[in-house]
Amino acid sequence: MLSVVAASLRFLFMNLRSGLGRVFVLCLVVLMTLPLAACDISQFRTQASQVPQLVVSTLSDPKTFNSIVSEESSSNAVIGLMYSGLLDSNGITGELEPGLAESWEISPDQKRITYLLRDGLKWSDGQPLTVDDIVFYYNDILFNEKIPSSSADIFRVGEKGLFPTVRKVDDRRVEFASPEPFAPLLRFAGGSFLPRHALEKYVKETDSQGNPLILSVWGTDTNPKEIVGSGPYVLKRYQPGERIIMERNPYYWKKDTQGNQLPHIEQFVYQVLGSTDTSLSQFRAGGLDVESITPEYFALIKREEERGNFTIYNGGPALSSLFLTFNLNQGRRNGKPVVDPIKSRWFNTLEFRQAMAHAIDRPTMINNIYQGLGVPQHSPIYIQSPFYFSPEQGLPTYDYNLETAKELLKSAGFKYNDQNQLVDADGNRVRFTLTTNAGNKIRESTGSQIKSDLAAIGIQVDFQPIAFNTLIAKMDNTLDWDAMIMGLGGAGIEPDGGRNVWSPDGRLHLFNQKPDPSQAPLEGRVVADWENRIGQLYIQGGQQLDDEKRKAIYAEVQKLAQEYVPLIYLVNPLSLSAVRDRVEGVQFSALGGSLWNLDELKVTEQ
C-alpha cells in the first residue's frame, strides 16, 4: 500500500498514460493524532539533496520492477514512473493527448487505429525506441497465453475474447486492428510497452517448469542499470526497508514550451516508512513533500497549513472504492474446498449478502471514521464517469436498517438461538473471519466497525488485519479467505477498465477468482448466472460505440452489481492531499491526483 502520492503516480503513469486498468488498492492513510516528530529530517532526505528532489512515502517495499507480473501498489508506483504511453491523458479532463505517438488515426469502420510515433525516440539506455518494440510487447508478451497478466484481460474483444492484431505499418507507424468495433481500444492501446532489445531473450527462454523467464526478470535484486524504461525517471538505487531513488531519464522524450528537456525535478525518492502513522509524522516534520490526508486528520493538518508551508487540496470524491466482499468461490483444490462448505453456503446466499449490506452503518462510518469528509458509495463506476448510473436514476442502494437485515436472513432460513446468536438452518453459528491489510488505519477502523455492526444482528466476526502481501497472496493464489475489506482504483472514467474485475475469467475477479495457468487448478468452480451476465454486458459495452447505448449497458451492469452485491460498497472518501508550497505547478484533481503532471513540476527551496 502507498500514500495517495504513490497511488496517484500509479494512476497517472500506468492508467492515465497507458489506459491499462491494472487495478489496485487506493484507499489510504492515518488514524491517530500524532505530535510533531522530534527526529533528524536528514534521515528522510537522501545525500543527493543538492539537486532538485521530491520525496514521498511508500508503506512497503516493492516486490518487483517487472510490470508484467506486478500487481501491488508499491511496485506499480515505481514502475509507473519508468514508462510512457503512446498517449497521455489530461489529469483534469481525462481527455487523451499525444504521448510517444504524436498523432493517431481511426479507420472509418472503427476497427483499426494507427499511431504515428515521434521521430528519434530512445529508451533510457540510449537505444532507439521503435515500432518493433510495440509489436514485440503486444504480440510476444501481453498477448502471449504463456505469460499471464491482468493487463491482457482488458484487451480481449467480444464473446470469444480475441486479442487485437498488432502490426508494423512502417518505421514510425503501428496499427492495432480489432476483430470488431471496440470502444476502449484507443485508450488502452495507447499505453506503455517494454523494450525488445532488453527482454526478447527472456521471452524465448524458459525455466525448469517451462515458464518463460520474462516472469522472473527485473526483480528487486536486479542491477538498476539493467532496467530499461521510457518514462520520466529511471531507477537509480533501491535500499530495502529504506528508500527507492529515481533519477531523470536522460533520454525522456518530452520538452517544455521553451525546448528544455523534462522532467524539471532531478530526483524522485520513495521513503519506505512502514506505516501511515510514520508517513504523516514525517510530512508534518518536513521530511516529505506530498502526503495524503485522511478525513479525521483534516482539521489538525489544516491548522498547520500556513506554518508548515504546504497547501491541502480537495478534489471531491476520490476515484477509488472501498468494499466488503465475501469469498463466493465454490471450487476445490486437490479435493479440498477453498472455502469451508458451511460458510460457502452462507456467502452464496443472496439474502445473506443483502442483509450484510443493510446491517453496515455507513452514516456512522462517514461521521466517525471519515469525519464527515466522505460520501456513501454504491457503484463500481466512479461518479466522475459519464457512464455513472445514480440512485436517483434507479440504482439500488442499501440503507442502514437492522430489521430489514434480520428479515432477509430469516427469509433465507437463518434463525436466532436462545442467546440471540444467528445460526443457519442446521444450527451452525454464523461466524467468519474478516481480513484487511494491516497498517491501513482507515481499513482497520472500518473492520472494527463492521465487526460491531454485524454483532448487532448476532454474527460473530473475527477481524484479523494481516500483512498486505499475505492478503494479496490469499486473494489471488491460495484463495483461502472468508471475507475481506479491499479497495480498487485506477480504472479511471472508462468503465471497461474494470472488466478484469467483473469478467468471470478476469485476473481481478477476486470474489470468485479463477487461478491463472501457473497455479494449481480448481475443480468444481461455479459461476452464477448474474455473474456471467455482468461479464457479457462488459463485452457488449466495449463493442458499442454509441455513447447513449453504452450508458444503458453500463446502467444494467451497475444495477446487477448492486442487486447481487458481490462487492458491498462502503464509503467514497474525498480526495485530500497536502503538497509543499515548494512544489510548483500542481494541478490537483481526484482524477489525476497531486502529481499527474509530475514531469512539468518544479521544486524551489524555501
Query: Distance (Å, rounded) from C-alpha 43 to C-alpha 47?
Result: 9
Whose CA is closest to 113, among 172, 190, 171, 170? 190
As a whole number of Å, the end-to-end CA separation of the chain is 30
**Nearest-5° Cα angle at 238, 235 to 244:** 75
Write down the pLDDT at residue 49. 52
Which residue has 520538452 as its cell numbers? 255
Which residue has 488502452 as its cell numbers? 188
- Residue 287 near residue 270 (C-beta atoms within 8 A): no
Write down the pLDDT at residue 36. 33
Write down the pLDDT at residue 11. 34
Q: Of 39-43, 177-181, 412-416, 526-530, where does mean pLDDT reach its minimum? A: 39-43
Sign of CA dihedral 45, 50, 55, 61: negative
Write down the pLDDT at residue 606. 59
Element (H, E) at 584: strand 583-584
Which residue has 500556513 as its cell numbers? 306
CA dihedral 372, 378, 379, 381 (to 10 degrees): -20
| pLDDT, tens only, 276-285 | 888 999 999 9
Query: Distance (Å, rounded) from C-alpha 419 to C-alpha 540?
Result: 50
Q: Would you say residue 473 has pLDDT above 80? A: yes
Q: Of 79-88, 204-213, 338-347, where does mean pLDDT reach its minimum? A: 204-213
| DSSP states along 191-250 | SB---HHHHHHHHH-B-TTS-BGGGTSSBTTS-GGG----SSEEEEEEETTTEEEEEE-T
- Residue 315 near residue 383 (C-beta atoms within 8 A): no
| Band of pLDDT at residue 445, cut at 50, 70 and 90 | very high
- Residue 22 near residue 490 (C-beta atoms within 8 A): yes
Write down the pLDDT at residue 503. 93
Element (H, E) at 556: helix 547-564
Beta bridge partners of 54: 268
Q: Would you say residue 531 has pLDDT above 70? A: yes
> Could you give the percent of the chain with pLDDT greater than 70?
91
Write down the pLDDT at residue 16. 37
Query: Distance (Å, rounded) from C-alpha 71 to C-alpha 436?
Result: 17
- Which DSSP category does 510 fall into? G
Write down the pLDDT at residue 45. 52
Burial degree of 554 (CB within 10 A; 0-12, 13-18, 19+): buried
Give the residue-averaged pLDDT of 68-95.
Answer: 88
Structural domains present in the chain: 4-83+205-317+574-603 (3.40.190.10), 87-200 (3.90.76.10), 320-573 (3.10.105.10)
Write down the pLDDT at residue 314. 93
Judged by phi (left if over 0) then psi (alpha if -120 to 50, else beta), residue 406 lies in alpha
The more confidently predicted of residues 525 and 472 is 525
Q: Would you say residue 121 has pLDDT above 90? A: yes
Which of 26-35, 39-48, 56-65 holds the top average pLDDT?
56-65
Query: What residue type is assigned to position 387 of the chain?
Result: F
Beta bridge partners of 531: none
- Residue 269 near residue 53 (C-beta atoms within 8 A): yes
Write down the pLDDT at residue 490. 63
C-alpha cell at 549: 447505448
| Band of pLDDT at residue 88, cut at 50, 70 and 90 | very high
SS (H, E, C) 3-68: CHHHHHHHHHHHHHCCCCCCCCCCCCCCCCCCCCCCCCHHHHCCCCCCCCEEEEEECCCCCECCCC
Q: Would you say residue 32 has pLDDT above 90? A: no
Query: Distance (Å, rounded) from C-alpha 535 to C-alpha 520?
Result: 24
Q: Would you say residue 3 has pLDDT above 50? A: no
Whose CA is closest to 505, among 141, 153, 145? 153
Whose CA is closest to 58, among 8, 108, 116, 93? 8
Q: Would you say residue 35 has pLDDT above 80? A: no
**Nearest-5° Cα angle at 581, 579 to 584:** 95
